[in-house]
Chains A and B, each alone.
Chain A
């Protein structure tokens, strides 16, 4: 028997579980994101039925989002062919995704370090990255968000608090 058959690369099970959870969470966050007027303004710049896929290479983790009626919906990855997706934002490997989703580095820095592969229109990529940044303001405590956001926005405290509550509420309820 070929001894190479016994050599099996190990998968990092815990990181995969964590990233799968984050992608699920992020999908719901995108779905709730139109609550904020700044995010809504960004969504309006995308064409209707525009779809994008956030994917972690070699980890079988992906998230497909589509714009319908000026808000985002989550699309089942089995129901959409790759050719029908307008934009792919792909993390090259599980480690690069883990750095971004444990908020050690920003998505922009990962992009600048070639940790992300973009396939599609760069202008629309910028819009998605901007939305992701704004979502981070709502989803993360300020001291963590400040590490991954170039400039923390100066929003009215109660406006941010109210929207944060609404976004979290919709994430947990799943609407």
Chain B
């Protein structure tokens, strides 16, 4: 038994957490920061909260970049890096979801390494030194990107996604304020939360699992299960929003240290080829992949019944029935979310996936690094079979 666990990110969480932003930048000896966000955040008024937190602060805002597309792109990263240098900024603040945070991670690589070629740093452990001060304020409750060592950025020239993996990509501080997720529409709340649930479950059942990541997974699953439906029904529930955001961060810490498996392997490829939302893909594939992994890790899946449904049902369910009950509960959760916000439960319900694309999806999946972490091996036929069931 051996494992490593690393999470140096300072987490400021709860009501008014955002008011600490300028203090945290000052602690990091920053004078001028670049804020990176997207149009949606600006239009929803969330950016104003961030700007207001700089009132009377010793740190100035160098510039605000708001044109991040839904898929992070290396040209956008280069453009923002130029602005950072032009305005003599010394730190980065990312306000947004996965795409914004990953773009900001890419910008941090370029400005810290004083380069304009992101490709040079693509891959695992290429970065050699700490990057510029970096603070993340997530506005979705799903990616966990504020506490992960990974960034994915699209390369339109090669029509591929570049994967960056380094502990230096971790931000210095993550600010989790419920006010920042209050305006997230119920559909996206559901999809991103199912992404977080998948992170937590896969971190618990895949081969990189360890006792510390298990603890984070357990707590994340409990919070998600208790709060998800309530928040989708009542989006202005601040406490529920905070719980979902914290669950997402905990699931992020868990999977950053034990990684994810086959749900993500297939989900990444479905997303790349069919352009469906990552959270939607996770929601659809999760029960089918759990069924696939059942013979290998049924015991671990069964243990998840406790955080999912609570001790009352857990204690009256015989041990051998717990794994099936977990999958049954996830399907029940999916049904509720479909009834409430029409979150697709099948690939066919997305209207974007064709059966003729299965082979291409399966071939791409076999190259995905997350497959290494799945407890059961999968070949092209296995993946096509899962896709057929999920269609």
Chain A interface residues (CB < 8 Å from chain B): 45, 96, 108-109, 111-115, 117-123, 125-127, 129, 149-151
Contact = CB atoms under 8 A, between A and B. Distances in A.
A56 to B, nearest CB: 16
A147 to B, nearest CB: 13
Contacts of B367: 45, 123, 126-127
Given A112-B372, A117-B125, A150-B376, A122 B163 contact: yes
A118 B207 contact: no
A122 B124 contact: yes
B124 A118 contact: yes
A122 B207 contact: no
A119 B258 contact: no
Given A122-B163, A151-B377, A129 B372 contact: yes
B369 interface: yes
A119 B125 contact: yes
A118 B125 contact: yes
Contacts of A114: 3-4
B281 to A, nearest CB: 19
Contact of B206 (A45, A112, A115): A112
Nearest to A99: B2
Interface of B (DSSP majority class): loop
A171 to B, nearest CB: 25
Nearest to A152: B377
Given A126-B366, A150-B376, 14 more contacts: A112-B259, A112-B372, A113-B4, A118-B123, A122-B123, A122-B163, A122-B369, A123-B368, A123-B369, A125-B124, A126-B372, A129-B372, A150-B296, A150-B375
B373 interface: yes
Q: Which 4 A-B pairs have the closest CB atoms?
A: A112-B208, A150-B377, A122-B369, A151-B377
24 contacts: A45-B367, A96-B2, A108-B207, A108-B373, A111-B372, A112-B207, A112-B372, A113-B2, A113-B3, A114-B4, A118-B124, A118-B125, A119-B126, A121-B123, A122-B165, A123-B368, A123-B369, A125-B124, A126-B366, A126-B368, A127-B367, A150-B296, A150-B375, A150-B377
B159 to A, nearest CB: 14
B369 A126 contact: yes
Contacts of B373: 108, 112
Interface residues of B, number: 27
A108 to B, nearest CB: 5
B361 to A, nearest CB: 15
Interface of B: 2-4, 122-126, 163, 165, 206-208, 210, 258-259, 296, 366-369, 371-373, 375-377
Contacts of B258: 112
Contacts of B210: 113
A129 B143 CA distance: 28
Contacts of B376: 150-151
A114 B373 CA distance: 12
B187 to A, nearest CB: 32
B164 to A, nearest CB: 10
A125 B377 contact: no
Nearest to B4: A114
Contacts of A151: 376-377
Contacts of A117: 124-125
Nearest to B122: A121
B207 A125 contact: no
Nearest to A127: B367
Contacts of B368: 123, 126
Contacts of A129: 372
A36 B185 CA distance: 53
A119 B3 contact: no
Given A109-B207, A114-B4, A126-B367, A119 B124 contact: yes
Contacts of B124: 117-120, 122, 125
B369 to A, nearest CB: 4
Contacts of B372: 108, 111-112, 126, 129
A156 to B, nearest CB: 17
A126 B371 contact: yes
Contacts of A113: 2-4, 208, 210
Contacts of B296: 150
A127 B363 CA distance: 13
A115 B4 CA distance: 9
